[in-house]
Amino acid sequence: MQVDFANIPVDNVTLKESLDKLDELIASQGPHLVVTPNPEMIVAAQEDNLLKQIIKSAALRLPDGISLVVVSRILRRPLKERVAGIEFMLQAVRMASLKHYRIYLLGGKPGIAQKAAESLKNSFPSLLIVGVHDGYFEHDGTIINQIKAAQPDLLFAGLGAGRQEKWLAKYLKVLGVPVCVGVGGSMDVISGYKKRAPKIFRRLYIEWLYRLVTEPWRWKRQLALPKFLWLVFTKGLKG
Ligand code: UDP
């Protein structure tokens, strides 16, 4: 089942269900795209037809934002829970280590993907990381060849919201990776380069406040939240 936020579909899945689905997608070989729509992406997709089509045709769309859950409850199309991209990524990596899936990390500033890989290897020693590359490259072709040669089962790409979905959708077939996931800044957090908001902020639904204080230059991006609320309360939900 899915819930549409201003015509952008989001799947009503729990973290556990999303992992079961991921496993199915890997088994079916793909290529599949997993996206993590949050209020910002839903607002951006209103005026970006390509992004909208990509989200609509993705194999799995995780509800990445507590405001999606709160709004869905107020409008009586309740989502079961928030599935944050980073939590999905960490659990997917855990699954990958158990099932010997091969993973590739693409994105972040130079050195970040490598650091994230080291940190993941520490947590999951049997994890098969078959390649890493930063997200500031000039020639797509070189990266595509590297990824293809590494033959991952799962590609995590953190190239910036919107950009990573377009990049992955454009090259999904040529890459031939069973499942590609857009993960935004998750590798920044896993590598230790950035901190996630402490639990208390998350529990009080004010993760945005923590980010505003720690990364004040993002204030413009945060206007997406009131825009999102305006959109969904005027356009409503379907599901
Ligand atoms: N990024 C990248 N290449 C670019 C632009 C951004 O690899 O050309 C990376 C950036 O280093 C960071 C991530 O994309 O790791 C940020 O993505 P986003 O802003 O979507 O993350 P959020 O913080 O919202 O999860």
Residue in the structure block whose two tokens are 């990509």: 54
Q: What is the pLDDT of residue 237?
A: 76
Whether ligand 1 lies within 6 angstroms of the CB of 90 is answered as no
Q: Which residue has the higher pLDDT, 218 or 156?
A: 156
Whether ligand 1 lies within 6 angstroms of the CB of 108 is answered as yes
Q: Which residue has the higher pLDDT, 233 or 165?
A: 165
Q: Which of 87, 88, 104, 159 to mutate to test the pocket of ligand 1 (most atoms within 8 A of CB)?
A: 159
- Distance of alpha carbon 78 from alpha carbon 82, whole angstroms: 11
Q: Which residue has the higher pLDDT, 236 or 219?
A: 219
Task: Check pLDDT > 80 for residue 194.
Answer: yes
| Rounded average pLDDT over 92-121 | 98
Q: What is the pLDDT of residue 164?
A: 98
**Could you identify the atom of ligand 1 that is nearest to the CA of residue 109?**
11
Q: What tens digit of pLDDT does each residue of 137-182 get?
A: 999 999 999 999 999 999 999 999 999 999 999 999 999 999 999 9
Q: What is the pLDDT of residue 142?
A: 97
- Distance of alpha carbon 150 from alpha carbon 71, whole angstroms: 41
Which pLDDT band holds residue 238 (cuts at 50, 70, 90)?
A: low
Q: Which residue has the higher pLDDT, 144 or 237?
A: 144
Taking Cα atoms as reference points, which of 194, 185, 171, 226 lies closest to residue 36? Answer: 185
Domain residues of the chain, as ranges?
2-238
Find the 161 Cα to ligand 1 centroid distance in Å. Answer: 7
Q: Going by C-beta distance under 8 Å and a sequence separation of 6 or more, which residues neighbour residue 234?
A: none
